[in-house]
Structure 1
Amino acid sequence: MEKKILFPQAGGFLHGGDYNPEQWLDRPDILKEDVRMMKKAGVNCVTLGVFSWSVYEPAEGEFHFEWLEKIMDHLYENGIFTILATPSGARPAWLDEAYPEAMRVSRQGMRNHHGVRHNHCMSSPEYRKKTADMDRRLAERFGSHPGLLMYHISNELGGECFCPLCTARFQSYLAEKFDHDIEKLNQAWWTTFWSHRYSSFSQVEPPFANGEGSIMGLNLEWKRFTTWNMTDFLKEEIRALREITPSVPVTTNFMMLYNGLDYRKMARELDMISWDSYPRFHNDEETLFETMTENAFHHTVMRSMKKEKPFMLMESAPGLVNWHPFNKVKRPGVHKLFCLQTAACGSDTVQYFQWRKGRGSFEQYHGAVVDHLGTDDTRIFRETAQVGELLKKIAPAAGTCVRARAALLFDWDNRWAIQDVKALAETTKCYEKTCISIWKEFLKMGVEMDVVPSDDDFSSYDVIVAPMLYLLQPGTASCLKQFVERGGQLLATYFTGYVDDNTLCFMGGFPGNGLSELFGIISEEIDTLYPSDRNHIRFGNGWEDWEVRDYAEILRLTDAEVLGRYTDDFYQGGAALTRKRYGKGNAYYVAARCCPGQMRPLFEQMLTQAGIPVKQLPEGVEYHVRTGDEGAYEFYLNYGTAPACVQEVYGQDMLTGSEVSGTLTLEGYGAAVVRK
């Protein structure tokens, strides 16, 4: 497994973050001190220019890049590289005054005023022209700078626009999608219902707040269009840069499971995947282990978009943030664990927002490496410097990847369709929570599990779990059949295969499109349970009963084997967990929502059948493996305050230099990176 080091010139992991020297151009003493402290903290890279447009171009056509050149030169002379952002995430006031079409229109149909961020219309020709011109000028001036590592396109792209330009684009997009045949759209969206048929594409409006919102196909297609339009805007920025500097890689920073854009579509245009991680540390509803392992899930979503190379953590908070409901400070030792988890999950970078706190405006109290105190003797600075040293110790792991034989299917289209469907219950659909909780159970068993879309290539996996796969993409059913037929272990759940990619229900029973044949069952009804309702699944093989909450399907068997049956209600004795042998593999179907912890015997059975080992881990310990041509690097992270012992560990702990021969002891909040 060949290494894919992202930035060989940096000699391992990148450590740094967003730096805003344009806020301090009147303080050369601070700029000089920043570089000294960066070197002390082990910072080898910063991101510049994210929100610099009003300094680059204070008036239309008046450009100032000399300050940036001085900063980049000085950083490079001190061994600090630059990721250069394009400034399209926030516009200067003069631009909106001169080109009001650049400002978005809300779902209510109102034009926004100038302000905040991400307030641009993706369709605006003038804004696209201005952005491309700025990008070309940056590429011409800095594209050959020896300190430049890559371009960072805009910042946390998001939002939607309902202006006349976007409406017209949407109509053209639909005409192309449906072959300029409005009857194909009417059939796909079932518009005869409520007499909503269209006679031309010009009649189709976006789902305005006071307009059409009852056509599920329209609502879903608008979200797809918004992704398409934002991706087109992204591609135009990339195209402008590559006209000048075709060999400089590009990325943009994603945001967790952001609901507004299908990141997997955008990822195709990027050389590297990067994202911004801001967990709600030390909240009062879950343990640190639960907080951190959910963060590991989000790392995995990003990693799985380009599995052949490491990803990048573009932003995180070395201390606290200023926009959570409760902005709690990271406790001592947690920052180290957070950063090592980032590396463990496959990132080659640990970067922060931000290096130095700004004196005023919206993020003046957002955490930073350097506080308003302005010194290098704070706890947060010391912990950041400690991370810099740790990243140097594990530098040989840079460029290696996480290789998973198990996968969880998670689709943005499916997510949107479930959110919109008028079925089940309003508050307990919980698609994301369901996926994360199942994924976490595999993590507790020490099993790496990619998070991939349902139209992905399944050939490298031996176990697949598909929770609530309500919407089936074209080809998904046949791919799942092929997966099981060749020997794969597949688990699907209730609410699988109800609709096609236009949200039309399949005829002939659920799960549709041939999946009933694969699983050997048909779901006749789905019962929605009140929060106070309970049922159970009982087994004849010695497993403990599983408690059923929220949803329970009533199955008709065709040729599946029953492993578990309901214990209560009018469907008492009915099949609740089934298995069908299909080709060389097994297709399991669980018809009800159960706690993944209770389902662990089933998961272990599937893993055993696939030949994937389960690792015995103490409670509160997270485990990951990165592999490359030099061997494997095992990461162990203890999120508990008490010591924990892991058995069957052999190799050298790169953090301490000590040999581990069987038992690895982790102190409270301790970590180890064992090179095998």
Structure 2
Amino acid sequence: MTTKFPPISPKLPVFMHGADYNPDQWQHDPKVLEEDIRLMKLAGCNTMAIGIFAWTALEPEEGTFTFEWLDRVLDTFAENGIYAWLATPSGARPAWMSEKYPEVLRVEKNRVRNLHGMRHNHCYTSPVYREKVTIMNTKLAERYSQHPAVLGWHVSNEYGGECHCDYCQDAFREWLKRKYGTLENLNMAWWTSFWAHTYTSWSQVESPAPHGENMVHGHNLDWRRFVSDQTIDFYLHEIQPLRRINADLPCTANFMDWFYGIDYRDFAKVVDVISWDAYPTWHEADSEAKIAAWFAFNHDLFRTLKHKPFMLMESTPSLTNWQPVSKLKKPGMHKLSSLQAVAHGSDTVQYFQWRKSRGASEKFHGAVVDHAGHENTRVFRDVAELGKTLAGLTELLGTNVPAEAAILADWDNRWAVNDAQGPRNGGLHYEETVMQHYKALWELGVPTDIVGSDDDFSGYKLLLLPMAYLLREETGAKIDAFVRNGGTLVSTYWTGVVNETDLCYLGGYPGPLRETLGIWAEEIDGLHDGQLNRLVVENAERLGFGGEHPIHELCELIHTEGAETLAVYGDDFYAGRPVLTVNGRGAGKAYYLGGRVKDDAFYEAFYGRLVEEAGVRRALNAPLPAGVTAQLRSDEEHDYVFVLGFSGQAETVELDGAAYTDAETGEAVTGPLELPAYGVRILKRAAH
């Protein structure tokens, strides 16, 4: 039986391929639209996101609306079989609004109000801004929500940032009242008795400030939660008229790679489809593997938010203009990086931008159509080639990524880790730690989900907890049940240290997981940059590898309480003490790594053993060259194995004996796979 998710839009049951399009910038030359339609067809592009920063073009003066140009664009799309994600233009407000209503402008943490300019320089709490957004979105929905070319709503653009105005201060206090009920509860949760910071009136509570309160960690954490919630609340305000007028059109908001300021796991609950913007810095090193793994992690994160296909809303067809060095994509990289997104669950490939702007800050940002204005460019040919590939892969549309491994990565844990003040204020490197563990699975070609505390862990065989510093009691109980029911857990140093309000657990770390892991963490030693310790394997037979591996940055001093020691420290006063342990619990096993091992070889060997031991699914059951990965989509009748070459050179990839055909050509594939530099092959087989 074939199992697939339905298309993102029933109007377009194929891969969406297209770009952000800004016809509002070209109203002075009607011939541009005519030529763009010709080029869109030539490039195999069927979907455009339009109107993203078009507020002034739609409302040049307060209350004066000019929709005629947008009518012309959408009608022309419909006549030519092209579709649109129609944007709400709230990402940047017009100058007349900032001038007449200065309250719409943000106040920074130093309590100074910004001038007009930039993007997202507006207050999400401002009643005036909310009113103006409602008027605009209502008019857009009334005019276009039944238009045959409109697929759905692209709501605003890359939400982010925070405001500290009086409206936001009042909203923060109300948020805290709902959460804590009483000042007594708030004071206890934030431990405000420290430094005599106890609040005796709600009016005394303000947002953190560089020249005021910023050292109460529970306070900092709740402010970040509030900012995230207030952003989501503004999104909900934006979509009210869109939903009211036509509830059938899906709404999305384009996310950014593991964006720090918003808890996307919460945001995902209120969008209909996940979309995100990916801009890898390809070719900054000899091998693209580290960059590829980071973007693979993000693709997996955004797929896991709803456990279904997502949209690659923006990527560059060539280069950017805002990264430190703007490198061109080498031959093959455009197809490789685009199909990487598809391999991890994207049902679209879209770009910023369709046609290069003639002026201002993004005039040199990559585009499908360059300033030359024609199709006779390398980039256009790359895009057109990918358009043909995507058109031939419709059978993959809606297929899932069957992951049996998962990594726990909560936003509030990330915020809390980075605010912890010790043991290494020079960098705890939480994100790098997560990626070090993830990359080992990526190198093995293990489909992996990126989960949160509220997710169900029962369907996984392997669960990773890198630096789960903030760990709720109920999450600890779920993880313990996962292990007792046969799962394999890997946890690291600096786990189970604080609860949800950033108060330290009493009775010993790792808090709720102490019995699960069978260890007690007494102290943690921060190493200076350049200082090393060693992990010395004591039980090579049990691990499947031996030897020594360098440790840097963090060394936790642990005691075993039922766990078996697999490796010990090699140096310093804690030489010989456990650094890697395993604890049998119920039908499962729980591993604990007490120090940050520096070299990737350790993680690849360690997880290679665990993946085999736990029977975790790999996309391809064969050795993979360094920098080459395999990823998997499946509909339970057929598997689609993507073999992706990020090593920067030609590689030979052994296959695993299954009967494969090439998903692009339909030809049988036998023997070793010859993969060119920046090559990608999609192999089809009967589902395993």
**TM interval, short-chain normalised:** over 0.9
Amino acid in the other structure paired with 1:607: V
Say yes or no: does 1:572 pair with 2:580: no
The 5 A counterparts of 1:572-651 are 572-594=575-597, 595-614=599-618, 615=621, 616-639=623-646, 640-648=648-656, 650-651=659-660
Please show how residues 370-381 of structure 1 align to structure 2 within 5 Å: 370-381=369-380
The amino acid across from 1:566 in the alignment is Y
Q: Is the 8 A contact 1:273 1:311 kept in 2?
A: yes
Cα distance in 1 between the residues matched to 2:223 and 2:673? 52
Show the counterpart of 1:654.
Answer: 663
1:662 Cα offset (Å): 4.0
Where do residues 67-82 of structure 1 align in structure 2 (5 Å cutoff)?
A: 67-82=69-84
Conserved 8 A contact 2:632-2:640: yes
The one-letter code sitting in structure 2 at the alignment partner of 1:379 is R
Secondary structure of 2:672 counterpart: strand
Note if 1:195 corresponds to 2:196: yes
**Residue correspondence of structure 1 range 83-482 to structure 2 within 5 A:** 83-179=85-181, 181-284=182-285, 287-307=287-307, 309-482=308-481
In structure 1, how many angstroms separate the alpha carbons of the residues matched to 2:233 and 2:380? 40
Would the aligned equivalents of 2:332 and 2:677 in 1 still touch at CA under 8 Å?
no
**Is the 8 Å Cα contact of residues 407 and 449 (structure 1) preserved in structure 2?**
yes
| Contact 1:484 1:583 survives alignment (8 Å) | yes
> 2:28 maps to which residue?
26
- SS of alignment partner, residue 69 of structure 1: helix
Structure 2 SS opposite 1:388: helix
Distance, in Å, in 2 between the alignment partners of 1:645 and 1:174 is 56
For residue 313 of structure 1, what is the amino acid of its counterpart?
L
What secondary structure is seen at the aligned counterpart in 2 of 1:268?
A: helix
State the SS of the aligned residue for 1:510: coil
Residue 666 of structure 1: CA displacement? 1.6
Contact 1:279 1:291 in 2 (8 A): yes
State the AA in 2 paired with 1:46. Answer: M
Which amino acid in structure 1 is aligned with residue 630 of structure 2?
Y
2:677 aligns to what SS in structure 1?
coil
- 1:92 and 1:167 mapped to 2: Cα distance? 25
Please state how far the C-alpha of 1:202 moved relative to its aligned partner: 1.4
Give the % identical residues.
Answer: 45
Q: TM-score scaled by structure 2? A: 0.96
Shift of 1:629: 4.7
CA distance in 1, matches of 2:537, 2:604: 14
Greater shift in the superposed pair: 647-656 or 80-89: 647-656
Q: Conserved in 2, the CA contact under 8 Å of 1:618 and 1:646?
A: no
Contact 1:344 1:635 in 2 (8 A): yes
One-letter code aligned to 1:598: F
Partner of 2:519: 521
Matches of 1:621 and 1:596, distance apart in 2: 15
Using the alignment, how far apart are the partners of 2:138 and 2:435 within structure 1?
Answer: 41
Q: Write the distance in 1 (CA, Å) between the matches of 2:379 and 2:502.
A: 50
> Whole-Å Cα distance in 2 between the matches of residues 663 and 104 of structure 1?
58
Aligned counterparts of 1:139 and 1:630: Cα–Cα separation in 2? 40
**C-alpha distance in 1 between matches for 2:609 and 2:643:** 25
Q: Deviations over 1:579-608 (max 9, x none)?
A: 111110001111110134313333233223
Q: Output the TM-score relative to the length of structure 1.
A: 0.98
CA distance in 2, matches of 1:544, 1:197: 53
Partner of 2:561: 558
CA displacement, residues 381-413 of structure 1 (integer Å, 9 cap, x when unaligned): 000101101111212101111110000111111
**CA deviation vs aligned residue, 1:308-343 (integer Å, no higher than 9, x gap):** x21000001101111101111111211111111111
Q: What SS does structure 1 have at the residue aligned with 2:602?
A: coil
Q: Post-superposition, which runs of at least 4 consecutive aligned residues in structure 1 deviate over 6 A?
A: none
What is the alpha-carbon distance in structure 2 between the residues aligned to residue 193 and residue 428 of structure 1? 25
Q: 2: distance between equivalents of 1:552 and 1:382?
A: 52
Whether contact under 8 Å (1:650, 1:674) holds in the other structure is no
Deviation at 1:362, TM superposition (A): 1.1
Q: Provide Cα deviations, 1:129-167, integer angstroms capped at 9, x if missing partner.
A: 110111111111000011111101100000000000000
For the residue of structure 1 that corresponds to 2:670, the secondary structure is strand
**Deviation of the 1:29 alpha carbon:** 1.2
Tell me the distance in 2 between the aligned counterparts of 1:272 and 1:113: 34
Question: What's the RMSD between the two structures over aligned residues?
Answer: 1.3
Distance 1:197 1:529 in 2: 35
Paired residues of 2:443 and 2:604 also in contact (CA < 8 A): no
1:64 is displaced (CA, Å) by: 1.2
Matched, 1:673 2:682: yes
Q: In the alignment, which residue of structure 2 is the partner of 1:490? A: 489
Number of residue pairs aligned between Structure 1 and Structure 2: 672
Separation in 1, partners of 2:558, 2:506: 16
Render the CA deviation track for 1:559-596: whole Å, top value 9, x for unaligned. 11111111111111111111111110001111110134
CA 1:599–1:669 in 2, change beyond 3 Å: closer, same or farther?
closer
In the other structure, the counterpart of 1:502 is: 501
> 1:10 aligns to what SS in structure 2?
coil
Q: Please give the alpha-carbon distance, in whole angstroms, between the structure 2 residues aligned to 1:234 and 1:381.
A: 35
How far apart are 1:66 and its partner, in Å? 1.6
Aligned residue for 1:538? 536
Structure 1 runs not aligned, ≥5 long: none
Is 1:546–1:599's contact at 8 Å kept on the other side of the alignment?
no
Aligned equivalents of 2:615, 2:415: Cα separation in 1: 35
C-alpha deviation, 1:556, in angstroms: 1.7
How far off its partner does 1:290 sit? 2.0
Structure 1 letter corresponding to 2:259: Y
SS at match of 1:415: helix
In the alignment, is the contact (CA less than 8 A) between 1:394 and 1:673 conserved in 2?
no
Q: Which digits, 9 at most, give the CA deviation of each residue in 1:39-63, with x for residues without a partner? A: 0000000001101110110011111
Cα pair 2:313 2:351 within 8 Å, conserved: yes
Contact 2:652 2:672 in 1 (8 A): no
- Bigger drift between 523-532 and 150-159 goes to 523-532
Q: In structure 2, what is the Cα distance between the partners aligned to 1:629 and 1:76? A: 36
How far apart are residue 372 of structure 1 and its match?
A: 0.5
Asked whether the equivalents of residues 489 and 609 of structure 1 are also in contact (C-alpha less than 8 Å), the reply is: no
Residue 282 of structure 1: how far off its partner (Å): 1.1
**1:443-471 CA distances to partner (integer Å, 9 max, x unpaired)?**
11111111111332111111001000000
Q: Is the 8 A contact 2:228 2:262 kept in 1?
A: yes
